[in-house]
């Protein structure tokens, strides 16, 4: 029973893979306003390719002919090892993460060899790029699985998933994010590679398989579709480990598993298509930034896992969001350009909503109120306020760089000093005994201080507005910590005042720009005596 179910899962992946690849193309086309080919077209084109004749480059050797078989075999093996619909039961040892990584690496090495062996310039170029990326992504993969492995005491991917860590360990969200970035890189999707073009300047994966034709090309494309599908299941199952079924179920269980599988494929492919529609491909020389971001995210996930393991450090979701809030506020503090600052403001407000929501999950009383607070925060501070400020920025886009009295490096130093000061203030003030969530109190004090300080050190009108908003965010946290419940009318009033004040400020700053032609507050010096 168990073996047969595992075979069914394998067959499902193999059958669904072309559909998944077709689905991404289809949804992307819809996002771009085109009708798009049917997602089932992929099966037809694979079948057509299998019927076609093959052409081999003169320079190629036997390696060129072996490559498609090895690559397809590695993908199939990958599909077999990773638990997608069922967890492996007593075959759990098979999905050791080093084995899985090795299998994947085996496939990519042969792909690279195939690219080299074709003897064309493009193949070599693609191979060199692929190798660079693969080598850079390897540490991320190790870090991600090491974090999971450390907490679950298991080296197998199965074991990591089954122990359902994510709900208890919020910092593993970082590892998941790293895993998503890794999957994008491994599967040659945006922003690392563009699967849809054959442009010599940018292509990586397509350059390597450029010389293949007929059945061999079909095998290589099939292999990459399988890999994409398995990765999507991998991510889904890490986030929702509950959806993995026991392999010893009957017919109804199999049906449920397959339906769940289809839902997962559709959801992940839709998200991937959305992502690919909103971001652009990076220049090749910027890919190291992408990879280092993924590595550092994975690294922080790992570090948090080690801390949590050794001293019970971060064990609540709200603490995690508090850390995020502070992180984004520090980024606001040091950044000079208005648009990134606005983006970080949105993120920090989202984190505040996250704090409220996670408190709502953990506290039974007042839960409805906390969810309400989170919802209104998102509405006002993620959509309303940024909308108004963007409207203000639209008219004058030249003056994006804010003038300041401190360079970014020293601002970050100042932010660090503020954090230390906030820490001592937090432990000194007499409230701590009564307040349950000291970390939120710390964040609110830090935010109040940073907001005030931002207004002092920046000379730009926008930065002063942002400073005021950060200050206001700090007070929102302070409200959560001190009184928790306010009457709904009062709370809505506070949010309304925030919106109105941003409106007034942005309108006024438009006047200032019209009259002064700049947003430097040092220009506002007419009234001194």
Partner 1 sequence: MVIASIIFLFGALLPQFLKSEKNIRLSSVWIAVLGGLAVFNLSFPVLFFAEPAWSDSWWMIDSFSALMASLIAFVYMASMFVSYRYIGYEYRENILNVSQVKTYFSLISLFALSMLAVVFFNNTILVWLALESTTLFSTFLVGLYKKRTSVEAAWKYIILCSTGITLGFAGVLLANYAGHLLGDESNFSSMTFLTDNAGSLDPNILRWAFVFIFVGFGTKIGLVPMHTWLPDAHSKAPSPISALFSGVLLNVALYVVIRFKHIVDGSLGQPDWTNRFFLIFGLMSIVLPALAMLIQNNYKRALAYSSIEHMGLISLAVALSPLGLVAAFIHMIGHTFTKSALFFGAGEFLLKWKTTKIEKVKGAMKYAPYSSALFLLGVLAIIAVPPSVLFASEFILFSRMFFAHWPLAVFVLVMLSLVAFAMLRLSLMLVFGSEDGKKMKVEKWNITHTVMAVELAFVFSAPFFLTSPAGLAFVESLVKTVSY
CA 240/CA 133 separation, integer angstroms? 29
Q: Which of 340, 391, 408, 493 lies at the binding interface for partner 1 (CB under 8 A)?
A: 493
Task: Report the site for partner 1 in 176-205 (rule: CB under 8 A).
Answer: none
Quote the least distance from Cβ 523 to partner 1, whole Å. 9
The answer to whether residue 427 forms part of the interface with partner 1 (CB under 8 A) is: no
472 binds partner 1 (CB under 8 A): yes
Q: Count Cβ neighbours within 10 Å for each residue of 405-422 and write b for 16 or more, e otherwise.
A: ebeeeebbebbeebbeeb
| Using rule CB under 8 A, residue 436 touches partner 1 | no
Rounded CA gap, 473 and 492, in Å?
Answer: 15
Query: In whole angstroms, how close is the CB of 522 to partner 1 at the nearest point?
Result: 12
> Whose CA is closest to 143, among 292, 295, 289, 291?
295
Nearest of 506, 511, 420 to residue 466 by alpha carbon: 506
Q: Is 494 in the site for partner 1 (CB under 8 A)?
A: yes
- 252 φ/ψ sector (left φ>0, alpha ψ -120 to 50, else beta): alpha
Instruction: Answer yes or no: are the C-beta atoms of 455 and 402 closer than 8 Å.
Output: no
3-state secondary structure 350-365: HHHHHHHHHHHHHCCC
Q: Tokens 């090749």 sit at which residue?
A: 284
Asked if 464 is part of the footprint of partner 1 (rule: CB under 8 A), the reply reads yes
Out of 455, 459, 518, 520, the residue judged to bind partner 1 by CB under 8 A? 455
Assess 497 for contact with partner 1 (CB under 8 A). yes
Among 132, 284, 475, 518, the residue binding partner 1 under the rule CB under 8 A is: 475
Beta bridge partners of 96: 156
Q: Smallest gap, in angstroms, from Cβ of residue 472 to partner 1?
A: 6
Among 163, 292, 400, 485, binds partner 1 (CB under 8 A): 485
Cβ proximity to partner 1: between 323 and 471 the closer is 471
Contact range with partner 1 by CB under 8 A, out of 63-71, 126-134, 217-225, 475-483:
475-483
527 binds partner 1 (CB under 8 A): yes
- Using the rule CB under 8 A, which residue among 429, 432, 436, 488 binds partner 1? 429
User: Least distance from C-beta 371 to partner 1, angstroms?
Assistant: 19
With residue 283 as reference, give the H or E element that holds it. Answer: none
Q: Which residues contact 261 (CB under 8 A, 6 or more apart)?
A: 12, 16, 84, 85, 233
Alpha helices by DSSP H, listed for 363-407, are: 367-377, 385-395
Among 182, 370, 388, 468, binds partner 1 (CB under 8 A): 468
132 scored as a contact of partner 1 (CB under 8 A):
no
Distance of CA 66 to the CA centre of its chain: 36
Residue (102 or 493) nearer to partner 1, CB = 493
**Residues within the interface to partner 1 (CB under 8 A):** 429-431, 434, 448, 452, 455, 461, 464, 468, 471-472, 475, 478-479, 482-487, 490, 493-494, 497, 500-501, 504-505, 507-509, 511-512, 514-516, 521, 524, 526-527, 529
């Amino acid at each position: 029973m168990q073996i047969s179910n595992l075979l069914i899962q394998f067959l499902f992946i193999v059958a669904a893979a072309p559909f998944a690849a077709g689905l991404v193309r289809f949804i992307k086309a819809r996002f771009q306003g085109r009708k798009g080919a049917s997602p089932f077209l992929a099966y037809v084109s694979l079948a057509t390719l299998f019927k076609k004749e093959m052409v081999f480059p003169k320079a190629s050797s036997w390696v060129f002919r072996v490559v498609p078989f090895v690559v397809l075999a590695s993908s199939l093996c990958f599909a077999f090892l990773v638990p997608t619909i069922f967890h492996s039961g007593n075959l759990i040892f098979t999905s050791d993460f080093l084995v899985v990584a090795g299998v994947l690496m085996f496939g990519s090495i042969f792909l690279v060899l195939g690219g080299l062996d074709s003897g064309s310039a493009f193949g070599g170029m693609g191979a060199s790029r692929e190798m660079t990326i693969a080598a850079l992504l390897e540490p991320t993969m190790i870090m991600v699985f090491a974090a999971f492995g450390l907490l679950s005491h298991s080296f197998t991917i199965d074991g990591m998933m089954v122990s359902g860590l994510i709900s208890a360990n919020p910092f593993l969200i970082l590892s998941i994010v790293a895993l998503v970035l890794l999957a994008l890189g491994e599967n040659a999707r945006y922003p690392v590679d563009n699967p849809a073009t054959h442009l010599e300047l940018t292509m990586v994966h397509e350059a390597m398989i450029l010389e293949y034709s007929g059945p061999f090309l079909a095998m290589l494309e099939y292999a990459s579709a399988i890999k994409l599908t398995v990765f999507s299941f991998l991510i889904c199952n890490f986030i929702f480990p509950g959806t993995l079924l026991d392999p010893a179920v009957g017919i109804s269980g199999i049906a449920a598993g397959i339906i769940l599988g289809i839902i997962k494929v559709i959801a992940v492919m839709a998200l991937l298509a959305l992502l690919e529609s909103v971001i652009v491909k990076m220049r090749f020389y910027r890919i190291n930034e992408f990879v280092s971001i993924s590595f550092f995210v994975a690294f922080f996930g790992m570090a948090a896992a080690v801390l949590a393991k050794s001293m019970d450090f971060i064990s609540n979701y709200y603490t995690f969001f508090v850390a995020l809030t502070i992180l984004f506020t520090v980024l606001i503090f040091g950044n000079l350009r208005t648009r990134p600052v606005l983006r970080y403001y949105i993120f920090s407000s989202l984190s505040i909503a996250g704090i409220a929501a996670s408190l709502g999950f953990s506290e039974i009383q007042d839960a409805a109120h906390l969810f309400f607070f989170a919802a209104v925060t998102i509405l006002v501070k993620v959509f309303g306020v940024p909308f108004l400020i963007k409207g203000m920025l639209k008219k004058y886009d030249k003056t994006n760089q804010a003038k300041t009295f401190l360079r970014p490096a020293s601002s970050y130093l100042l932010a660090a000093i503020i954090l230390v000061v906030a820490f001592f203030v937090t432990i000194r003030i007499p409230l701590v005994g009564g307040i349950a969530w000291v970390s939120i109190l710390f964040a609110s004090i830090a935010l109040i201080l940073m907001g005030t300080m931002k207004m002092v050190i920046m000379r730009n009108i926008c930065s002063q507005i942002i400073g005021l908003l950060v200050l206001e965010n700090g007070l929102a946290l302070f409200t959560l910590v001190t009184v928790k419940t306010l009457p709904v009318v009062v709370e809505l009033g506070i949010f309304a005042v925030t919106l109105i004040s941003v409106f007034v400020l942005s309108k006024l700053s438009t006047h200032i720009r019209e009259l002064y032609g700049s947003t430097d507050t040092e220009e506002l010096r007419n009234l001194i005596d």
